[in-house]
Amino acid sequence: MATTNSSTSTLQHGSSLQNSSSTPLDPAREGFRFLSTVFMILVIGMFFHYSASSYRSFVSDQDPTSMWVKQLKGYGIGCLLFLIGLWIQPRRWIEMYWIPLWGGVVLLLLATIVSPLGREINDAYRWLDLGIRFQPSELAKFAVPAATIALTGVLRYRGVLGREITAPVGAVIAAGLVGIPFLIIWKQPDFGSAAFLLVLCAIPLFRWSKILIYIVGLAIPLVLLLLPKLMARMNEMEERFEAIFSPENVPQVWAGLQGIGSGGWAGKGIGLGTSKTLYMPSEYSDFIFSVYAEETGFIGVLVLVSLYSLVLLFGWRLSRAVEDADLACMVRVVTIAITGQAAINLLVNVALFPTKGIPLPFFSHGSTGLAVFMGMTGVVIGISRTRARQVVNLT
């Protein structure tokens, strides 16, 4: 590429001054609002995790706090990851750390299905046991989109070893970055997490529209490859979709709906729900919202939905306030990861979405998901502390 005058040989690879015609958004203020809202959800979730899990804990361990105490590991690790995300310079995630992050997550995902460290629970190999049990697929929700942000930002504009990355080459790289972890998660099998990962990775890829055409072409063989697997599990998939059209035929969904409906306007009272007394499976995880709705009623549901909506609003506003396009994209990915997963969980609970094991962020039992979301929140707050615009030299 020809060298030009320094005033024209750089690309201000960041958001344009999109707020110049109106009152500029303050990243620090929007970040504080984002953090405050997430913190409120976290506190409510911590409280209702105990309420939802106490009966099962008492029956299985004679201790109503046993499951809640296990969840404390997630809060502790999450605080550590939050501080790491807060302290690390944000651009390092997409300029330096994305390669070891992506590679490490892929190795961990492989270990779930090809090593003795993998643990089978509910007919799926989603967990690794390294002294503590965790799900690598939760880590992929940050590591893999970070890699696609690097591809469509840093690598796209700077090239590799002085060579420009063309759209076809970029599509092949994107297919590898996304396709490898997707296929491993699919193999576990965890179809819900695999599909959700595709959504998160698509957000950065839309910034480079030319490669989408090539990616579609590359995806066709993948679809044909997965078709036999889809056909083999067609009965299971039909059962999951049945929850939308005939929820009374899906016991866990029907139990959840009864719990939600019995809450009325103001709920039965905190701790007084009956659906959690082993009447509803996964009342501490996938269907914890049903317990929450039963005990707090329509008013409580309105509060929770409003809080998640505020996370979406403040995350979107923060992404507009940040002048670095790569970091703004990362804010959008984290925001959609939290609110999109919450929306899917709530829709499953009210029988408007096929049943799938998608937990409610900051509520459901599971230390890995909780810790990762807290760490991702730390990254967002770290981004809110900088207004720097990245200048990329194209010579």
Q: Where are the beta strands (DSSP E) in the chain?
A: 10-12, 118-121, 124-129, 133-134, 391-393
Residues 59 and 102 in one domain: no
Residues 208 and 116 in one domain: yes
Q: How confident is the model at residue 196 (pLDDT cuts 50, 70, 90)?
A: very high
Residue 59 lies in a domain: yes
Residue 321 has pLDDT above 80, yes or no: yes
Q: Tell me the C-alpha distance between 290 and 297, whole Å.
A: 10
Residue 30 lies in a domain: no
The pLDDT assigned to 15 comes to: 42
Residues 352 and 226 in one domain: no
Residue 335 lies in a domain: yes
Residues 255 and 324 in one domain: yes
The pLDDT assigned to 91 comes to: 93
Q: Tell me the C-alpha distance between 93 and 145, whole Å.
A: 11
Tokens of 223: 């679809």
Residue 32 lies in a domain: no
Q: 10 Å Cβ neighbour count for 65?
A: 15
The pLDDT assigned to 230 comes to: 67
% residues pLDDT > 70 (the chain): 89
Residues 118 and 164 in one domain: yes
Q: Residue holding tokens 């919202």?
A: 289
Candidate from 88-92, 244-248, 301-305 with smallest mean pLDDT: 244-248
Angle CA(192)–CA(196)–CA(198) in degrees, nearest 5? 125
Instruction: Annotate 228-279 with DSSP letters as a single string.
Output: HHHHHTHHHHHHHHHHHH-GGGSHHHHHHHHHHHHTTTT-S-TT--STTTTT
Residues 43 and 109 in one domain: no
* pLDDT, tens digit, 9 for 90 and up, residues 18-32: 444 456 889 999 999
Q: How confident is the model at residue 1 (pLDDT cuts 50, 70, 90)?
A: very low
pLDDT higher at 151 or 213? 151
The pLDDT assigned to 130 comes to: 81
Tokens of 53: 């899990």
Question: What's CA 201's distance to the chain center, in Å?
Answer: 11
The total of structural domains in the chain comes to 2
Q: How confident is the model at residue 187 (pLDDT cuts 50, 70, 90)?
A: confident
Evaluate whether 244 touches 351 at the Cβ level (below 8 Å). yes
The pLDDT assigned to 54 comes to: 92
The pLDDT assigned to 233 comes to: 67
pLDDT higher at 53 or 393? 53
Residue 358 lies in a domain: yes
The pLDDT assigned to 3 comes to: 39
| Mean pLDDT score, 294-298 | 95
Mean pLDDT across the chain: 86
Residue 288: which residues within 8 A CB-CB, separation 6 or more?
A: 48, 49, 52, 282, 360, 363, 364, 365
pLDDT higher at 43 or 390? 43
Residues 198 and 227 in one domain: yes
| Mean pLDDT score, 86-93 | 94
**Among candidate residues 199, 232, 265, the one where a domain is terminated:** 232
The pLDDT assigned to 331 comes to: 97
Residues 253 and 381 in one domain: yes
Residue 238 lies in a domain: no
Candidate from 145-149, 281-285, 316-320 with smallest mean pLDDT: 281-285
**Among candidate residues 232, 256, 279, the one where a domain is terminated:** 232
- Nearest partner of 341 among 303, 368, 313, 369, judged by Cα: 369
Residue 237 has pLDDT above 90, yes or no: no
Q: Tell me the C-alpha distance between 304 and 296, whole Å.
A: 10
| Mean pLDDT score, 274-300 | 91
Residue 166 lies in a domain: yes
Residues 268 and 347 in one domain: yes
Residue 6 lies in a domain: no
Which range of residues forms the domain containing residue 103? 90-232
Residues 96 and 188 in one domain: yes
Residues 146 and 272 in one domain: no
**Among candidate residues 172, 204, 232, the one where a domain is terminated:** 232
pLDDT higher at 237 or 259? 259
| Mean pLDDT score, 215-243 | 74
Q: Tell me the C-alpha distance between 168 and 172, whole Å.
A: 6
Residues 218 and 252 in one domain: no
| Mean pLDDT score, 304-323 | 96
